[in-house]
Amino acid sequence: MLLFFKKTWWQILIIFLIASSCIGLICYFYFSQPNQPIASIYFKDQLIRTIDLNASKDEIFYVDGEHDRLQITIKDHQIGITHSNCPLQYCVNMGLTNKANMPIVCMYNGIYIIISGESDFDIAI
């Protein structure tokens, strides 16, 4: 206990940051599934389409981005970008999801999908 207080302020801050990061990540991945996930597809700041993922049927549709046309797939109440000609392919590699912990973003085309909805846990968007 004495050793703990002998530490400098930044050493204590490191311990605090790492502890909060671990707790935060656990909460983020385990409590981020909303009960009624709603996917909102945006082109820059413009809302293109809103989809209730619980009520959605399997579907493939296309959205025009800044440079390219993106293929968006809804399957098993999950949504994702399944084809894009962007160089890094981060959006495609994210796969299909219905979790609210992070948006699917294609920076190259200015398209992003945000999943929102009510959850039992406050952290869900």
Instruction: Report the residue number, 75 or 112, with the smaller CB distance to other proteins.
Output: 112
Of 72, 77, 15, 24, the C-alpha closest to 49 is 72
Q: What is the DSSP string of 18-66?
A: HHHHHHHHHHHHHS---SS-EEEEEETTEEEEEEETTTPPPEEEEEE-S
| Residue 96 sits in the site that holds other proteins (CB under 8 A) | no
| Residue 124 sits in the site that holds other proteins (CB under 8 A) | no
CB of 48 to other proteins, least distance (A): 13
Number of shown-chain residues binding other proteins (CB under 8 A): 32
Instruction: Report the residue number, 58 or 66, with the smaller CB distance to other proteins.
Output: 66
Q: Mask 37-56, x = binds other proteins (CB under 8 A)?
A: -----x-xx-----------
Instruction: Report the residue number, 101 or 119, with the smaller CB distance to other proteins.
Output: 101
Total count of residues recorded for the chain: 125
Instruction: Report the residue number, 26 or 60, with the smaller CB distance to other proteins.
Output: 26
Own/partner pairs for 69-73, CB < 8 Å, 24+ apart? Answer: 70/106, 70/109, 70/111, 72/41, 72/113
| Residue 22 sits in the site that holds other proteins (CB under 8 A) | yes
